Structure 1
Amino acid sequence: MWILGVNAPPTGWHDSAACLIDQDGRIVAFSEEERLNRRRHSLYRKPMSAARFVLAQAGLTPADIDVVALGWDSEQLYPRRFASDADFLAYAVGLDFGPRTPEVVRVPHHQAHAASSFYASPFRKAGVLVIDGHGENESSTVWTYEDGAEPRLERSWQRTASLGYAYDAASTWLGFSFLNAGKTMGLAAYGRAAGLATESLVDLTADDFRMAVAPLTEHHGTATADEIKEQYDTVVGRWRARYTEIAGADGPTAPEDALADDPKAVLVAYTAQRVVEETVTHLAALTRKAAGVEELCLSGGVALNCSTNGTLPGPLYVPPVPHDAGVALGAAWTVRPPRHHTTPLSPYQGTDIHGPDHTGRPPAPDTTGLLRTDLDTDTLTTLLMDGRIGAVAQGRAEVGPRALCRRSIIAVPDTAEVNTRVNRVKNREQWRPFAGVTRRDYGARLWEQQEHLSRYMLGAARATDLGREVAPGVVHIDGTTRPQVLHGDEAPAVGAVLDTLARRGAPPVLLNTSFNDKGEPIVNTAADAVAAFRAMDLDFLVLGDDLYRKPGRTGGDRR
């Protein structure tokens, strides 16, 4: 039995993705469409390339698929839009499944989110908290999941109580897209560092919460996509009006690259961040109480808020794909859960750097004019210790929005100035932070410990005195970092460098950020990596087992 999970239009209109699992719930391959079509977030685009890729990994054709699982109830949102499942699949996925139309299973959005988190976790039973902009009828839900049992929906909150909407309003007030919520989170840290007092915009009761900003008329029950869009515009509009009232302005007074110096912008970002932190902390406690266990899983777009995640006590698990792309996996797992999940999910499920992509063949990179040598760990480590900034593209790509050392830009973070240099390389705003990566034992000395969040770089942790001393380049303005702990040989080149740094008596920690230029998805294939290397002001590129440098940059002087 083969199950193709998708996040696809018309319901999944951003972060489309495809995932293939077998009859035992084992993942064969998983990819976001943006990695293949090179259009960030793949707005309104079907996951056709991602579906072709995952099928090619198993040597299958669309006709071999038994079930297509969608991470939305498309029938509720778009009633009577499609005459048949065959018509729906042609529109949503874009593949020709042949004369035998696969069964189409429409999994409610929050249930797909919940499944993607629980079954990726090492827990046998857990409370699962899903928080996002909205599903079909809700914005937050509490579940109990247990191996061998049907999932149980414990609580739900309506769309108008959406934390995602509150954060979207702040992001758009700041001039960002709602898909740039990470910028809002990074800016909010300047408010925390300054000790800003914010107005509380959420009322927490013993077993509930209520937003201070809501439409005059509450909306309950089911709604179509058009009705939800109208509700969204109303709620977000009222939140923006409240932020305008708080700031005394209807937008920032500084340009985007100077927002950290704009007190009004920082106040709005931090106010929204506090709304999320206060509410999620409360909901996490309610989830644990409802499930009767301390093990907690998070999912939904709000679970990408690393600052909030880092404030929650463990045991806590967030998957590498808590955003909407993850419902492709969660929908498939709802149809056929994995038989055994004793360790956290490996995020390395995407395209191999030298393997075939969705076309069935490996795109050949053009390395003309670049200087190639065999990859040597000592040489690579020396380049980094001498202040060089480079990129790594090895093995199968990560899934999710965090680069986890297989498609990463790396540097030694021994000065705060390296943050400025890497932001310049990536053409980012200078106020944005970076993450650090190290091994488990040394990480215990650098920052507060996180049992699972640091596996996927999904939780902020306060840096220790040693962390601030040896790795100031990855410590944000509020004293936190978003750490990654690298296990075993998950990312061979980066792991080898960390171990070599330790042998040389240097702090075994690196700055790690995604390998992509401004506005682009993370690189996927070797051809993507070489093109990005040429376009960006990088000193070296690890491509599989090769090391590439640019003419004139072969020395070891600190730049």
Structure 2
Amino acid sequence: MWVLGLNAPPMGWHDAAACLVDGDGVVHALVEQERVSRRKHAIDEQPREAVAACLDIAGVRPEDVDVVALGWDLPRHAARTDFGHGLPQRPWEFGDSRNFLTTALGWRPHMTRHPELVFVPHHFAHAAASFHASGFPAAAVLVADGHGDDESVSIFEAAHGRPLTRRERLPIPDSLGYMYDAVSEMIGLSFLEAGKTMGLAAHGRARDMRPWPMLEVGQDGYQPPFELPQNATQKEIVLGWWDHIRLLGYRRTTKSSDELDGDDDAVRLALSAQVSLQEAITMLANRARAITGHDALCLSGGVALNCSANGLLPQPVYVPPVPHDAGVALGAAWSVVPPRPGGEPISPYLGRAISSGEIDDALSAHGLYAKDVCPEDIAERLVAGQFGAVVTGRAEVGPRALCHRSIVASADDERARDRLNRLKGRELWRPLCPVGLPECDGEYWAANGTLHRYMVGASQVTEHAYRAVPSIVHVDGTARPQIIEDRNELMWSVLDQLRTGGRAPITINTSFNRRGEPIVDDAHGAIRSAVAIGLDFVVLEDRLVDLTDVMPASQDDGASSVLNRTKGQLSTRAR
């Protein structure tokens, strides 16, 4: 049996994804559409390429798929006329399932014989993904996002062998996600740049700013500063928040995103949203544990990407590598065939791998040569101040690069943060994250359970970290670490080499992509991005490509080749 889980339009209009599981609930592939189409967040894209990639990874044909599960209750929304394109705007009818499969997958299924199409309510899919990925035998599950099918927050009780049971939910006007979206847009960012708002809020904490009042948070609930009908639209909710923000005295900034840290009002507003979010999530987490009687807590939904809020919650807490909408592809599939109990937390490395032949073709096309990878050589390069990228194994899923598609650099030089941010086109006020060995928990930053497995929880750093690895310390004294435990990982060996040399077993770890692009997904893209960014080397599986003598052949980002230059011609290159 094969089950194909999806996040797809019309309801899943961003972060489309596909996930393939077998009859035992084993995940064979999870691919986000953006990685294949190369358009960030895959806005309004059907997950056709993601589906094709999943089938290719598993060696499965379309006709082998028995069930397609969508992480939205689409028939519930079919008659809506306020949502926009893609809905029939009438009750769901016979034949609509086939039409959806044709549109979403590009398949041409038979009218009466096609894979069963199952609709999983959105928050149930989020909850299933987080709980079954956690390895907990039983848990409270808290889902918070922009909105689900008709809710914005849900609390579930979960246990293996029993169906998910929703114990409480809040209406869409109470959306924490939309509150944060409204603030992000008000300070000049996109609603899909909430991570930047979170990073900006840290500057307010560092300056001891006093936050403006946003939510009224009590012991058993919270209240937005306005009242709207329970069927209010996203636009109405965001406008309600904008009206409140204006009443606070805030006016839209005229500064670019690069200058936001210099706008005290923008920083204060970001801090205000973050403080209110943290208070609300803490209250909801306490309530979820009290209602269900379970101490173990799983988080999901886009709000669960807020690592600052996650890091404040008492353990045990689990957040999957894909808590955002791409993760409902996993949860929808597992709602049909859950995994067997007693497993370890899910591996994040479920995407596509690059083949040796693909690497050969890319090196030949770009006129480059490679040598065998040596962890000691990589460590020496990092110590010497070089910046490099690592592309190895199957791609990680989710928005956090976890050393399979990462840029790495030495963490002991504070100047490296600004240099690397400039090369990637990032705002200089944004932090860079560390990757370290297990011994770093407690020595360089506070331990935080499984949150450091996928880089989804912030921790307060120690005084030792300020001295030894200053480039990974954010302005408020926190870091968002990844811990590598698997000794078979290339970066584990690199970190071990740093430790052997008397240095902290820590490097900078940031996503391997150019500004505005998804994380790289193939060998050609890896070389193009490495050269365009200005990296010194790139690792492609078991080969290392030295780029210190390589410059772009032209200023055209689409250039398919690079030009070898002499070292003497590199004197003007930013280092």
TM-score, normalised via structure 2 length: 0.91
Residues 1:128 and 2:141 are matched in the alignment: yes
* Correspondence for 2:238: 236
Contact 2:160–2:341 under 8 Å retained in 1: no
**Change over 3 Å in CA distance of 1:117–1:547 after alignment to 2:** same
Partner of 1:223: none
Secondary structure class of the residue paired with 2:443:
helix
1:381 aligns with 2:379: yes
Normalising by structure 1, we get a TM-score of 0.94
Shift of residue 57 of structure 1?
1.8
Alignment equivalent of 1:538, drawn from 503, 523, 535: 535
Amino acid at match of 1:378: E
Indicate which of 410, 413, 427 corresponds to 1:412. Answer: 410
Matched, 1:245 2:247: yes
Displacement after TM superposition at 1:174 (Å): 1.3
Distance apart, 1:61 and its partner CA? 1.3
The 5-angstrom pairing of residues 283-294 of structure 1 reads 283-294=284-295
> Would the alpha carbon gap of residues 148 and 373 (structure 1) be closer, same or farther in structure 2, given more than 3 Å must change?
same
Which whole-Å CA distance do the structure 2 matches of 1:76 and 1:119 have between them? 26
Counterpart Cα distance in 2 of 1:54 and 1:363: 23
Contact map agreement 2:135 2:341 (CA 8 A) in 1: no
> What code does the residue aligned with 1:94 have?
G
Aligned runs of 1:548-559 on 2, under 5 Å?
A: 548-552=545-549, 559=575
Q: Give the CA deviation at 1:142.
A: 0.3
How far has the Cα of 1:291 moved from its partner? 1.2
Give yes or no for the alignment of 1:201 onto 2:214.
yes
The equivalences for 1:453-468 within 5 A come to 453-468=451-466
Which residue of the other structure, out of 121, 127, 137, is the alignment partner of 1:114? 127
Take 2:103 and 2:187, find their aligned partners in 1: how far apart are those partners?
A: 35
**Kindly tell me: are residues 43 and 31 of structure 1, through their superposed partners in 2, closer, same or farther at Cα, counting changes over 3 Å?**
same
- 2:279 matched residue in structure 1: 278
- The 3 A distance-change label for structure 1 pair 362 and 373 is closer
Residue of structure 1 in register with 2:226 after alignment:
213
Q: Please name the residue that 1:6 is paired with.
A: 6
Distance 2:78 2:197 in 1: 32
Amino acid corresponding to residue 334 of structure 1 in structure 2: S
Q: Tell me what 2:102 maps to.
A: 90
* Structure 1 residue 96 displacement after superposition: 3.2
Q: Match of 2:101, as an amino acid?
A: L
Q: Which amino acid aligns with 1:243?
A: I
1:341 deviates by 4.2
Aligned to 1:143: 156
Give, in whole Å, the separation in 1 of the partners of 2:53 and 2:378: 32
Name the CA distance, whole Å, in 1 between partners of 2:373 and 2:43.
38
Give the equivalent residue in structure 1 for 2:62: 62
Written as runs of structure 1 = structure 2, the 5 A alignment for 1:147-166 is 147-166=160-179
Asked whether 1:266 is paired with 2:267, we answer yes
| Alignment root-mean-square deviation, CA | 1.9
Say whether the 8 Å CA contact 1:8–1:93 is kept in structure 2. Answer: no
Provide the rounded CA distance (Å) in 1 between the counterparts of 2:487 and 2:353: 16
Aligned residues: 542
Q: Percent identity?
A: 44
**Where does residue 420 of structure 2 map in the other structure?**
422
Matched, 1:547 2:544: yes
Q: Retained in 2: the 8 A contact 1:247–1:264?
A: no
Q: Distance in 2 between matches of 1:93 and 1:30?
A: 15
- The structure whose RCO (Cα within 8 Å, separation 6+) is larger is 1
Equivalent residue letter for 2:525: D
Report deviation, 1:50: 0.7
Partner of 1:343: 344
> One-letter code of the match for 1:281?
T
**Is 1:169 aligned to 2:182, yes or no?**
yes
For residues 255 and 340 of structure 1, do their structure 2 counterparts lie closer, same or farther at Cα, with a shift above 3 Å needed?
A: same
1:163-219 Cα distance to aligned partner (Å, 9 max, x none): 01100000111111111111111101111111111133222333222112343xx21
Alpha-carbon separation, structure 1, partners of 2:268 and 2:244: 12
Cα offset for 1:371? 4.0
Q: Which residue of 1 aligns with 2:563?
A: none
CA contact (8 A) 1:363 1:525 kept: no
Please name the residue that 2:429 is paired with.
431
Secondary structure in 2 aligned to 1:418? helix
1:11 Cα offset (Å): 1.2
Whole-angstrom CA distance in 2 between matches of 1:370 and 1:364 = 10
Amino acid at match of 1:258: E
Checking the alignment, whether the CA contact within 8 Å between 2:378 and 2:494 is kept in structure 1 is yes
Compare 9-18 and 55-64 and name the one that shifted more: 55-64
User: What is the rounded CA distance, in whole Å, between the counterparts of 1:57 and 1:386 in structure 2?
Assistant: 38
Residue 216 of structure 2: SS of its match in structure 1?
A: strand
Greater shift in the superposed pair: 363-372 or 55-64 = 363-372
| Cα distance change of structure 1 residues 363 and 74 upon mapping to structure 2, 3 Å threshold | farther
* 1:295 lines up with 2:306 in the alignment: no
Distance in 2 between the 1:214 and 1:537 partners?
51
**Structure 2 unaligned regions, length at least 5:** 80-90, 551-565
Letter in 2 for 1:543: L
CA distance in 2, matches of 1:350, 1:489: 20
Counterpart contact for 2:359–2:540, Cα < 8 Å: no
- SS in structure 2 of the partner of residue 219 of structure 1: coil
Aligned twin of 2:558: none
Between the aligned partners of 2:343 and 2:502, the Cα distance in structure 1 is 36
Equivalents in 1 of 2:487, 2:513: separation in Å?
23
Partner in structure 2 of residue 314 of structure 1? 315
Q: Is the 8 A contact 1:461 1:482 kept in 2?
A: yes
What's 1:472 paired with?
A: 470
State the AA in 2 paired with 1:419: R
3-state SS of the aligned residue for 1:350? coil
